Amino acid sequence: MNKEILKSIAEQMMQKPKGLLAMDESSPTCAKRFAALNIPETEENRIKYRQLIVTTPNLSDYISGAILFDETFHQKMSTGVLFRDHLKEVGILPGIKVDAGAKDFSEHPNEKITEGLDGLRERLVKYESLGAKFCKWRAVITIGKDIPSISCIRSNCNALARYASLCQENNLVPIVEPEVLINGDHSIETCDKVTRETLKCLFDELMSINIYYPGVILKPSMVISGDKNSKRANYETVAEMTVNCLKDMCPKDLGGIAFLSGGQSNDEATNHLRIMNSGDFGLPWRVTFSYARAIQQSALNKWSGKDENHDEAQAILSERAKNCSDASVGN
């Protein structure tokens, strides 16, 4: 582990007024989004869509790093240039999702455990040699009747810590993503309780194996009401409770925080982030975004697989990225 390299990468990822672009959807997830818009699910169309994203004019004004799926990391654009090389050329750090997805957690109904540790050290060595600067691993915590269980939280946080250690061993900044799902009718108070329990467990695990905090980026969900709750908390309450939770539970020397949008609408994801950065919260770290749908979905809807919609879709993507960038500095 080279602490100077890790800290430098994390600082580049967190530079104002930028955030991260999560374009690491797996092929099955991409297929679902294409199917909803009647876009033929082919590798050619996946390349076209991803190329539309990364060639958006001035994208690097708003985006510091892009999280790629393995296919994209090794894929070439229609120009013959590798996606990862194009990103570097325009000043965007290439990163890679390395987990193998959330699977059913044995003997724990309705709970998930993220897999992918087998062979991870060897994969990370290869990714780093090919130019990756950071990685991402997502854990899924579900709120429901009698869940999450302590064993689900502990098992997922242990995996996140083991992944983070292997990343830092290879001078790759780990993004640790413990997502508390928005799905359900739970209150914001319940979300706050579960988020605190999850973050406490996560940082206990990270500390136990001597993770270098300035070389780690946390990608949390916000403290928010369930999407089926009839009395959802307003923007200001979400922002305040989220900040208070993070200030209470996260080390002050953490490399930075980049939120996932996690089922929020575009307006919700942007406004929550803006309020957090415009209020007098005394944040000890940079707080920005690592959004996927909250930046890309409107552009995908416009493009819909049609070449004639390419430029207008890019304009929409650029506007969404700018809005999120502005929100990350309180504007």
Tell me which residues are annotated as active site: 177, 219
Residue with tokens 């209150």: 187
- For residues 25 and 31, the answer to whether their CB atoms sit within 8 Å is no
For residues 116 and 102, give the distance between their C-alpha atoms in angstroms, rounded to a whole number: 9
* Distance between CA atoms of residues 278 and 194, nearest Å: 26
Assign 3-class secondary structure to the chain. CCHHHHHHHHHHHCCCCCEEEEECCCHHHHHHHHHHCCCCCCHHHHHHHHHHHHCCCCHHHCEEEEEECHHHHHCECCCCCEHHHHHHHCCCEEEEECCCCEEECCCCCCCEEECCCCCHHHHHHHHHHCCCCEEEEEEEECCECCECCHHHHHHHHHHHHHHHHHHHHCCCEEEEEEEECCCCCCCHHHHHHHHHHHHHHHHHHHHHCCCCHHHCEECCCCCCCCCCCCCCCCHHHHHHHHHHHHHHHCCCCCCEEEECCCCCCHHHHHHHHHHHHHCCCCCCCCEEEEECHHHHHHHHHHHCCCHHHHHHHHHHHHHHHHHHHHHCCCC
- Tokens describing residue 168: 């830092």
Q: What angle do CA 215, 218, 219 make, to 5 degrees?
A: 140
Supply 103's token pair. Answer: 């699977």
> CB 16: neighbour CB atoms within 10 A?
12
